[in-house]
Structure 1
Amino acid sequence: MLLSPQAAGHASPRQDSASTWSHGLLWASVLFNLLLCFIDTNIVRLGQQEVILGEALILATAVGLPFLSPARRPGRWDILFAFLLVTWLVLSIVRGTADPKLFRDVAIIPIFIIVGMTCRNSRLHVSIFRLHLVILFFALWEAIAPTGFVSVFSVGQYFAHTRGQSVDDWWVNNGLYISSIRPEARFLFSNLPLHRLSSVFLEPVSLGNYVVLATVWLVGFWRHMPRWMVIVAAFANLLLLVGCDSRLATIACVILLTAAPFKKRLPAVVPLVMAPATIAATFIAVAILNLRAGNDDFPGRVAYSVETLRKFTLDDLGGISLSHMAATQDAGFAYLINSQSLVVAILIWTILFAKPAKTLESRYVHFGVALYLSLNLIVSWSLFSIKTAALLWILLGQTIAADEDTASRDAVLPDEDEETSPTSQMPSTRRGSSYSGRRAIERTEPG
């Protein structure tokens, strides 16, 4: 069973080890496909089994990570993990077929939330910042010298080898992932002579997803980082957004930045109602605007998602029938409901967002995560990829840990005049040690 770390007084060697491992898991989740692509391009041809094995090793390590903590106890995330496992087993029996991916896609939620709860806060920010710069480096390499990039990382060939389909299904003439070139002009800066960048993620959609999560990280935790780090990371994120040319990421980032000044006034119920409100809004928009599925643009994808949900029968909503599973690739809400059942999907969302946040950072991060999930699930199931899912749930786990520490000290949300105090907004770690902004990172050995 997964075990949640319990707050302790001071960092012990085992706690430091758990924190270091959690950072390594984040890096491995983001970069392991890049490593496999390098091996496939330059050393030996790989197949799907190597990708599955690599991800399985990461997840197995993540499951065992909480046991490095000296004081721990089962919590609601352990219960969620066990519940999802039992649900998957029952549905597999009813369906007459067992697909481990359907369990993996939701089990990754509690697994990496617990990983996030083991991280030392200031060191995590340094680790994410370094990873951010690595992602920018590979994006600039791909932009400046795409031929050289493909000679080292033959992206299209890697996806063809590991996904078992023709090369023509995965790459364009320059050897990059097929969606690196839009049929129409670029969404951002249409005259810019640049394809859609992928960086370490190997495909543009995941880079766009990462940009949204990096925005949540920067806006949510900027008070706990030195100013120079925030400025550099924000500029890098802007370059990555322009590079990936993601419509969804652009919309999400605009909303996130617009909401930032009002994070103290965000109603606690907003994350909880975000998904049902988004689904209702899409149905209304499709009806009023007469949107039609078929076009590979945002309105067309929204219409397709609604069309897919309208086809669902009671068996589809109950997760019993998978007859529409193939059609849910570009309809994330439909995929989540069909793979887990409507009841389980509602329970997952409720467990994630029903508990009110205790700190300003937690309130904003919960809002950002709910927004990201809702917008992404309208048009895609890409958020289930471990390349970005690890960071997503680790960030949420950080704020959940802070909320639990705050609640254990009978603390309340800071008053308006306390907003400028980082220590008043978020506990530094699950170990009870305090810090503030720049000093914390300067006196903490980066991990």
Structure 2
Amino acid sequence: MTAGMPQAASPAAALPAADWRAPYQGRVALVVLTGALVFNAVLCFLNTAGFPVSGGTVMGAEVAIIALTLGFALDERPGPWLVLAGLVTYGLLLVTLRGNPDVKGVRDFLIPVVFYNLGMRAPDLRSADRAVLASGVIVVVMGLFEYGLFDIYQQYFNIVRYYVARGSMSAAEISELTGSLFTSGIRPDSRTILPFLGPHRVSSVFLEPVSAGNFGAVLFAWALYRRTMRGRAWLFLCAAVTIILADARFGAYVCVAIAGAMLVGYRLPRLLWFALPFTILLALTVYGFESLQTSWQNDMAGRLLWAALLVTSLPPEGVWGIMPDKMFLSDSGYAYTLSQLGVAGALVAWGLFVLMPARNPDGWRLRCAMAIYLCLLLVISDSPYSIKTAALVWFMLGVADGAEPEA
């Protein structure tokens, strides 16, 4: 061949190099999802057994799980890297403007991006079915152990001591009513779901019952979405048992809303879904400023009032996410979102979630279900940002968006 003429590339050279991570993608997904689900219970066990745990230990465990997920979630595609870089840079800018070393806002950006892309990289619906069902079985087995053998359970899992050790509670908050359980582990008034089960609200691996109820709603959403799933009835059962044991009133209500969103609501325009959380936030703000009540009770009306009061208690710098002082906002996810992400960050993050196209059109149904889950849950809690439940939520969304449409 003449030296000056270009040589044809061989077919092998034209193909991209195989990604060494591909054969391990499914196994890693199962490992990190299980780790995100149970690591708090493991640390609680270690702390009860005499191995001291601190807030740094918990943070280190979360960092390790996120780092391992990140290593298998992103590939050569520039889009996810640009989104991740933009959100993390914005989060670090807010940290700098606050003058406060708390980087929870950065973590709140990282979890959705890395776990969503992990699902996109391994969009096998049947593998996801097994991962979700395995998570549900773990939660139910641990929950039944806690409820049925409580005396033995608290010998190995002293939840209050764990939360004090990690800095999430003070010793003054320990109550004789709840004993070794989390503050909400005992229902002080009458139990709502199956009152004969008694006041004990089961926390399972989550160590507090609110997240257990939320997780039950997540399991219900996947079971409703996956019409061809093997073991679908078992997943529905896991969801029901988890919600009942936790006496999760809100989790049960959210299941009804999820069913409506998945069966009918997905037909609504995306702009309406984009406006939904900001409409709820506006309603809470108006309610907080207009209400003359200052005391509240632990029912739905009382929780709405308390959430509205927390939103309206934010100063202007809190709305923009640059408030240096840390306030207790865990009972209002919208107030927490503004204080950590700022209104600009919330607009961008929610816009990416709602307006991003899906490879699988059927995945939009699940995205609508999770949108209603997030919007409603943020009214009374910041738990949508907890890796305990968020890891599986965003993984499910990634799998549903990336999978091939089923017949």
TM-score category of the 2 structures, normalised to the smaller one: 0.7 to 0.9
Q: 1:155 to 1:401 in 2, by over 3 A?
A: same
The whole-number CA distance in structure 1 between the counterparts of 2:246 and 2:364 is 28
Q: Where in structure 2 are the equivalents of 1:6-405 lying within 5 Å?
A: 14-66=21-73, 72-75=76-79, 77-119=80-122, 120-163=124-167, 165-167=169-171, 169-170=173-174, 172-223=177-228, 225-226=229-230, 229-262=231-264, 265-283=267-285, 293-323=295-325, 325-355=326-356, 357=358, 359=360, 361-402=362-403
Query: CA shift at 1:381, angstroms?
Result: 0.8
The residue that corresponds to 1:428 in the other structure is none
- In the superposition, the TM-score normalised over structure 1's length comes to 0.80
Deviations, residues 22-62 of structure 1 (Å, cap 9, x unaligned): 12110100011111111112252222222111111111111
Q: What CA distance in whole angstroms lies between the structure 1 residues aligned with 2:269 and 2:375?
A: 17
CA pair 313-51 structure 1, distance change in 2 beyond 3 A:
closer
Counterpart CA distance in 1 for 2:199 and 2:296 is 26
Q: Distance in 2 between matches of 1:54 and 1:206?
A: 19
Is the CA contact (8 Å cut-off) linking 1:113 and 1:397 kept in structure 2?
yes
Distance 1:57 1:297, change over 3 A: same
Which amino acid in 2 is paired with 1:158?
Y
Report if the CA contact (8 A) 1:293-1:307 is conserved: no
Equivalent-residue separation in structure 2 for 1:51 and 1:259 (angstroms) = 35
Farther-moved stretch of structure 1 (77-86 vs 158-167):
158-167
Q: Partner amino acid for 1:37?
A: C
Question: CA separation in 2, counterparts of 1:164 and 1:374?
Answer: 25
Read off the aligned partner of 1:14 and give its amino acid letter.
R
Q: Alpha carbons of 1:234 and 1:121: their partners in 2 closer, same or farther (altered >3 Å)?
A: same
Alpha-carbon deviation of 1:173? Answer: 4.7
5+ residue gaps, structure 1, are 1-7, 407-421, 425-447
Q: Where does residue 6 of structure 2 map in the other structure?
A: none
C-alpha displacement of 1:16: 2.5
Identity, in percent, stands at: 25
CA distance in 1, matches of 2:278, 2:104: 25
Please say if residues 360 and 402 of structure 2, whose CA atoms lie closer than 8 Å, have aligned partners that are also in contact. no
C-alpha deviation, 1:99, in angstroms: 1.4
Which blocks of at least 5 consecutive residues in structure 2 are unaligned? 1-14
Aligned equivalents of 1:133 and 1:238: distance in 2?
12
- C-alpha distance in structure 2 between counterparts of 1:197 and 1:334, whole Å: 27
Q: Name the CA distance, whole Å, in 2 between partners of 1:124 and 1:372.
A: 20
CA–CA distance in 1 between the matches of 2:103 and 2:57? 16
**What is the identity, as a one-letter code, of the residue corresponding to 2:313?**
K
CA distance change for structure 1 residues 164 and 140 in 2, over 3 Å: closer, same or farther? Answer: closer
Give the Cα separation in 1 of the matches to 2:297 and 2:262: 33
Superposition deviation, residue 264 in structure 1: 6.2
Per the normalisation by structure 2, the TM-score is: 0.87
* Cα distance in 2, alignment partners of residues 39 and 400 from structure 1: 38
Q: Is the 8 A contact 1:263 1:360 kept in 2?
A: no
Give the aligned residue type for 1:136. V
Q: Which amino acid aligns with 1:57?
A: A
Question: Cα distance 1:203–1:356, how it changes in 2: closer, same or farther (>3 A)?
Answer: same
Q: CA RMSD in A?
A: 2.6
The answer on whether the counterparts of 2:21 and 2:72 sit within 8 Å (CA) in structure 1 is no
> Is 1:423 aligned to residue 406 of structure 2?
yes
Which shifted more, 289-298 or 148-157? 289-298
1:311 counterpart letter in structure 2: S
Q: 1:311 to 1:153 in 2, by over 3 A?
A: closer
